[in-house]
Amino acid sequence: MASARFRTKLIAGIAALIGMVALPAACIALRYSGPASRIVWFDYLPVEELVLTLAAAAVGLSLGLWIPRLFERDSTPRWPVFRLSALGLLLGWILLVQLRAFPASASADARAAWAHARIPQYAALTRVIAALPEVQRDVGRIVVVAPTARDQHRSAREMNGDDMSFALDVIGERGRGVFYADCTLDEARVYDWRSGRWRFNGREQRITHVPDRVPTR
């Protein structure tokens, strides 16, 4: 009897540990994969990610403690409604992120509108690129600047601005090209321009410097 109880507690402990680690890992992987992986935004204080991780760990721990009861011979399995409801809410939270993800298959105007509404310094980045002489020379007056449909893009809040790594469809009156930018900026200043590449009509040009100030329009 004592050995059976010890074995049950051991299995419950192992299952709880696995659930506490595996479920948060799965939730994070799902959150940053699929449609939501096209544009990823990291806040300076990742409160939402922390809450998600803690909630997933709590649900995984609770489910792990319950699982060994299914294998007890003399007990009738009782489905843990509260635990399964919590798991359903957690998965619904992750699914909501995917439903609100970047519309990669949409038009350039729709992609641009999505980025303007959700990426804090996206407008500043587009103003920097639209003001470059190299871009204006090739495509003329800018009509729309939108994140490309197939590339992955990233924006992360830092103390001195937003780190941004984007590939952008730049459409002007005379044509279109793709601009690759890796920089740190806010609404007024370009703090760090790490790299820039402008691809137009089969040729590519490196943009190593831009003005320190973000154009106002």
Domain shared by 83 and 127, yes or no? no
User: pTM value?
Assistant: 0.74
Residue 70 is predicted with a pLDDT of 66
pLDDT number for residue 148: 96
- Structural domain includes residue 127: yes
The answer on 112 and 92 residing in a single domain is no
Asked if residue 214 is part of any domain, the answer here is: no
Please tell me whether residues 69 and 120 are part of one structural domain.
Answer: no
pLDDT given for residue 76 in this prediction: 56
Within a domain: 212: no
Residues 19 and 87: their CA atoms lie apart, in Å, by 12
Is residue 168 in a domain?
yes
Task: Quote the number of domains for the chain.
Answer: 2
3-state secondary structure of 190: strand
112 and 57: one domain? no
pLDDT score, position 71: 64
42 and 62 share a domain? Answer: yes
- For residue 45, what pLDDT is reported? 66
Q: Are residues 161 and 114 in the same domain?
A: yes
Output the pLDDT for position 108. 96
Residue 200 lies in a domain: yes
Same domain (yes/no): 78, 121 = no
- Looking at residue 90, what is its pLDDT? 82
Domain boundary at 99, 133, 162, which? 99
Give a yes or no: residue 85 inside a domain. Answer: yes
Determine the Cα–Cα distance for residues 47 and 153; give it in Å rounded to an integer. 21
50, containing H or E segment = helix 47-66
Q: Is residue 216 part of a domain?
A: no
Distance, CA of 151 to CA of 166 (rounded, Å): 8
Beta strand 39-42 pairing with 153-158: parallel
Q: Are residues 145 and 66 in the same domain?
A: no
Q: Domain boundary at 99, 118, 151, which?
A: 99
Q: What is the pLDDT of residue 182?
A: 97
The pair of structure tokens assigned to 28 is: 């994070």
Q: What is the DSSP string of 92-132?
A: HHHHHHHHTS--TTS-HHHHHHHHHHH-TTHHHHHHHHHT-
Q: Are residues 41 and 121 in the same domain?
A: no
- Full residue range of the structural domain in which residue 45 is found: 2-99
Note the pLDDT tens digit of each residue in 58-73. Answer: 888 888 877 777 666 5
Q: Which residues does the chain have with pLDDT short of 70?
A: 1-4, 6, 8, 44-45, 70-79
